[in-house]
Copies of this chain bind each other. A is one copy, B any other.
């Protein structure tokens, strides 16, 4: 299984937690290769990450990207340049990598993802979940704002058929899209993904593959009680800690935060280190 992350140094800590949760809950995955697209992570940190992956038996492949490519694209502290790298991944990753699972770092993996990895994409190039099914208002806004006529996908979990993606990914499309929609872009890379590639995307079941932890009550209500905490812990594979408030920071209130902090502790104990970065 190939995993892709596109983080900068600020997200190394949550990336480590995510990876720990992946390996604890996917013990049968033996051949895992973690690709990192980045621009500014130091050699020292990269070595440390390589060792971190090696302790799980995983290969680590960091790929440096020239960040000047995105000098003119909209970014800010919360949405750095690196977020665009997932859009460019098909052009940057080695040609022999055929399929990859992109994961945001603000994620906890609590059940096997094998079925996601083996998803039959049919005629599609990508697979992603929409968080819009539960908040139709947002969907409507996105339709108007971005002029799309399909679901608005969350790109925090994104399965990519790289062979096909290489055929449709063109840098000029991405830059043109950024320029064209600049003032309307809320989540720049995700918006661009939706505008350009939404139509090539297979919808995934969000409660299983990209569960927005802020929406527990909504999911439960909409499912007439089916998606209660038993169901979630048994069936949901990927918990996504979306939004501005993050579970590795102080004063995070969401109930899933306890689970996240338990994994922080498990990872810290497993690696016999104190990860101070989150303080």
Contact = CB atoms under 8 A, between A and B. Distances in A.
Interface in A235-275: 250, 252, 255-259, 261-262, 264-265, 268
A229 interface: yes
Contacts of A268: 234
Contacts of A48: none
A258 B258 contact: yes
A259 B259 CA distance: 5
- As for how many copies of this chain the complex holds, the number is 2
Interface string A221-233: 0000000111011
A162 interface: no
Contacts of A228: 250
B256 A258 contact: yes
Interface hub of A110, A228, A233, A262 (most chain B Cβ within 10 A): A262
A240 to B, nearest CB: 15
Contacts of A261: 229-230, 232-234
A130 interface: no
A142 interface: no
Interface residues of A, number: 20
Which among A229, A255, A257 has the greatest number of chain B C-beta atoms within 10 A?
Answer: A229
A182 to B, nearest CB: 39
Nearest to A231: B261
Which of A234, A252, A255, A258 has most B Cβ within 10 Å?
A258
A111 interface: yes
A265 B234 CA distance: 6
A262 B262 CA distance: 11
A228 B250 CA distance: 9
Contact of A233 (B110, B234, B255, B265): B265
A255 B258 CA distance: 7
A233 B250 contact: no
Contacts of A255: 255, 257-258
A63 B234 CA distance: 34
B250 A262 contact: no
A148 B234 CA distance: 46
Nearest to A112: B269
Nearest to A216: B258
A259 B266 CA distance: 13
Given A110-B262, A232-B258, 15 more contacts: A111-B265, A228-B250, A229-B261, A230-B264, A232-B261, A233-B264, A233-B265, A234-B261, A234-B265, A234-B268, A255-B258, A258-B258, A259-B259, A259-B262, A262-B262
Top 3 closest A-B pairs, CB basis?
Answer: A255-B255, A233-B261, A233-B265
